[in-house]
Amino acid sequence: MRTGVLVMAYGTPTTPDDVEAYYTRIRHGRAPTAELLADLTRRYDAIGGTSPLAERTAAQVAGLRSELERRAPAAFDVRFGSKYEPPLLEEAASAFREEGFGEVVGLALAPHSSSMSTAQYMDRAREALGPAVRFSPIGRWYDAPGFLELIAARVTDALATLDPARASSTVVVFSAHSLPESILERGDDYPDQLFDSARRAAALAGVSRYTTAWQSAGRTADPWIGPDILAVLRDLRASGVTDVVSCPIGFVADHLEVLYDIDVEAQGVAREIGLHLVRTTSLNDDPAFTSILADVVLAAT
């Protein structure tokens, strides 16, 4: 019997007509207000109407499947399940159980882990699989061999597009998705993972001037981890920084949090304050990246 591999991600609406239903699922069944829905629709419109995340994720899953098949023919069955958009992760997990799989590996397409994000994927998958299936959840994998080297290479490429005469006033900003501050009360080390991955990626790229920031905080009344990247950009400019390389290290594909929150919103603030901002290219389905994912899965079996 092959080992199941359940690849999980947040999900995204596939058409503009799906946005409201998707937003309602994110809000645990509570429909968004007209104002919230209009704001989310506006952001999707700004990047072309929908996010390319579904296509990017499908390509990543296909790349992982192909690489595992190359290395271990007929040993793995790779399937995708989303947290908020069909196919849901519970459906994929239940299919593994119903088909008699004895072992399933869980992989979230996020390099950092936390109790409020990736751990929820794993809990939902474990419950759907049931006690008869041995479940091997993969936690953080930003420190997997080769991953930070891949990030560092993208930082180096982005830096190469800047004017070397301004190198002394250039800073790299590594960012990840913010989460509610309540996770800190539970001792969640999610922020430490960002700091560690940023420090190590900067060292690999030979970068001494770097900082970290948080982005894409939810629109809720609860406080979220900061500082927000928009505030960080303003502070950097005020301190004399002229150029910034934005490296959204917490994200592995092009989607709303990259294409809007960085390329539109952060870029707009940068232009407003006279800061030159460039972004590192996303990993998407780079074969070097899907090869690293295959390494991560194989190490968990």
Gyration radius (Cα) of the chain, Å: 20
Neighbours of 144 (CB within 10 A): 16
Same domain? 170 vs 120:
no
Per the CB < 8 A criterion, the answer to whether 89 and 82 are in contact is yes
Q: Distance (Å, rounded) from C-alpha 243 to C-alpha 203?
A: 19
Same domain? 7 vs 78:
yes
- pLDDT at residue 210 in the model: 98
Same domain? 200 vs 228:
yes
- pLDDT at residue 227 in the model: 98
* Count of structural domains, the chain: 2
Same domain? 15 vs 109:
yes
- pLDDT at residue 221 in the model: 85
Same domain? 162 vs 206:
yes
220 pLDDT above the threshold of 90: no
Same domain? 189 vs 98:
no
Confidence of residue 56 (pLDDT cuts 50, 70, 90): very high
Same domain? 175 vs 275:
yes
Q: Count CA atoms closer than 13 A to 173's CA, side-chain side.
A: 32
- Indicate the DSSP class of residue 2: P
Same domain? 123 vs 186:
no
Q: pLDDT by residue (tens digit) across 96-133?
A: 999 999 999 999 999 999 999 999 999 999 999 999 99
265 pLDDT above the threshold of 90: yes
DSSP per-residue string spanning 82-143: ESSSSSBHHHHHHHHHHTT-SEEEEEES-SS--TTTHHHHHHHHHHHH-TTSEEEE----TT
- pLDDT at residue 219 in the model: 82
Q: Distance (Å, rounded) from C-alpha 103 to C-alpha 106?
A: 10
Query: Which residue in the block uniquely carries the two structure tokens 């690489």?
Result: 67
- Rounded to 10°, the helix 89-98/118-129 angle is 30
State the average pLDDT over residues 76-84: 97
Same domain? 230 vs 294:
no
Mean pLDDT of the chain: 96
Q: What percent of the chain has pLDDT over 70?
A: 100
Q: Is 219 exposed, middle or buried (0-12, 13-18, 19+ CB in 10 A)?
A: exposed
Query: For residue 262, what are the domain limits?
Result: 147-279
Going by C-alpha positions, the residue among 46, 63, 75 that lies closest to residue 284 is: 63
Same domain? 252 vs 165:
yes
Assess whether the previous peptide bond of 223 is cis (omega < 30° from 0): no
Same domain? 127 vs 58:
yes
- pLDDT at residue 202 in the model: 98
Same domain? 7 vs 136:
yes
- CATH of residue 32: 3.40.50.1400
- The three-point CA angle 44-264-149 to 5° equals 105
Per the CB < 8 A criterion, the answer to whether 284 and 59 are in contact is yes
State the average pLDDT over residues 225-239: 98
DSSP per-residue string spanning 38-89: HHHHHHHHHTTSS-SHHHHHHHHHHHHHHHHHHHSTTSEEEEEEESSSSSBH
14 pLDDT above the threshold of 90: no
1 pLDDT above the threshold of 90: no
